[in-house]
A and B are shown apart, each in its own frame.
Chain A
């Protein structure tokens, strides 16, 4: 491991985190609530004190990272960032227990939105905004942000960005990584502002609109309202949030091509067709399944579309407690929790592209059983897909499931929750959705789990956000040897 470069990189990331806390500090200064501004201020100070020496004093001799080191750096960066990001919660006493605060912070950065918070009444506007703003930072990726700001930091950036960006293949939208990162953040910022404006029009106040805009953009799901979006009881707000959740679950390269007036891109994208097709089909099916609970089909459709969008984009907002729905509806939600959004979006989950590849691969294997000599290259997005890509997708799925099962088993050692709760809690963490079923449902929280389980959940969320391998590589002893 190129230790000096790693330290310098981590330092840069911490400084970027310090800078990203500034908006929350300004909000805190605006509202003048006890304990709010000091909590943000001391957190920024702590980040600066930790980050600046690391960034300034480490002088790397070489600026290249090997693939494995790149993965390790990304994982370390996320862990460090989460620990420092938990400080505002601890300092403000909003979440006094460090492990609770860490869980909340990891849940924020990984855009999961699972919460241990139960006290929604304390007036801490700055810290609460930070809680949602972690979604915005984590959604597009802090390394991507760091590269947008400091493109010269390392020589080979492909490994770093690959480890952080969602999807099996790295697709740059501009030839240079730094330009690419800047462009992604520009699109991201513009869409967030657009949602902010729409939410204002739909009747939210300015603070709530900003908070929910950043929360949706990262497909996170933290809300300032204890009852989430359902608490506003406004159809307009729900429609705006539904549309934007689906938008942020789309590949950002598509927005770039649209911006370049290449409208064909939308029509050509096979993944988008799968994504919207599944969303539409699942919404209709879910509406039928929950019809007994609601009075009209229209009302059922309102709740089904919102919840399909929130689960598929892995946001995790709620406008209804799907825990109270009929069993088949809950089963459908459970299945949707695996899927996730598109490659290159801020959504979590397995990603639609992988699901589509798995389906196509499975279909081919079945066809082969009957026609052993059949030769068929699987195509996706108009290109032939390499067999190595298929097998790595299959491996990804395998590891994904095994990780959920192991996670569910470890937290079940506590012994006081049922299988449904433990299994969906692990699933919702790895998929970065937020709410699960049972005790961790939309109306519940993770607060009842022990500190140890919360650390396990935190690791699961990180593994899910970074698509498994960067976190797994940390457990490889070879990484730490010279």
Chain B
């Protein structure tokens, strides 16, 4: 057995083998069951006993050398192939796309934000019909026929005497008629007034809160409003409570915040008028409550610094998708 010659032969063959196939066949030729190395091993038995250990060791060393040489070469070739594949598959990641991004209407976004805020405070959302009767929209709310307060509402009427609700307050009455106190509700929705200019549209959205139970007082209302304002207007503006008049609350208050151009009205609120409680069968000596309401468009305009309310209903996609 000439191990040195065998090694030399392997070297030469290995140098020639530079593809995956040739390396694999070299592997079989040397390391296979009938390969060079197993035949060398079988020849070992014919060697003189004193040379056996040394020769055996040399054969094993030769075997390890063959194994390592072939496998490292194979790895190199695989790596090169992978590198080639990766570079050939590369794309221009900078190519711009135009995703079809959906959007909520700005008014919806603000309505949801306000609703979620009050939901987290334990208010339950309530809806009511947009076509209402005189009773729910006016009389039950302590606004009698011909009362000057009706001038504050330019009402849309139908021939049958029904009307488009001018505020979300009728939902208060409907809720109080159906459920007994304690009551803690929030009513968002569309309202309608026959009016159109830079600050008015014939349809807009309001959200109204109502709490009725025993021992509800103005201090509770004040705290509820202050906390809301702090949450909604991130810059913690100064807040002013100013006496006002709503037929369905007594006392009635308007809430202003201090903005860039002075005081800005943001909502109306007050303690539920005893006549309103009586109209739904609640004893005003036992129960009391507060209500607050705001225009969602107004809050939307303040949030996004929009100056013309009508823009919100033109539905120009360049505008309403930017909320």
Partners in one complex: no
B interface, CB within 8 angstroms of A = none
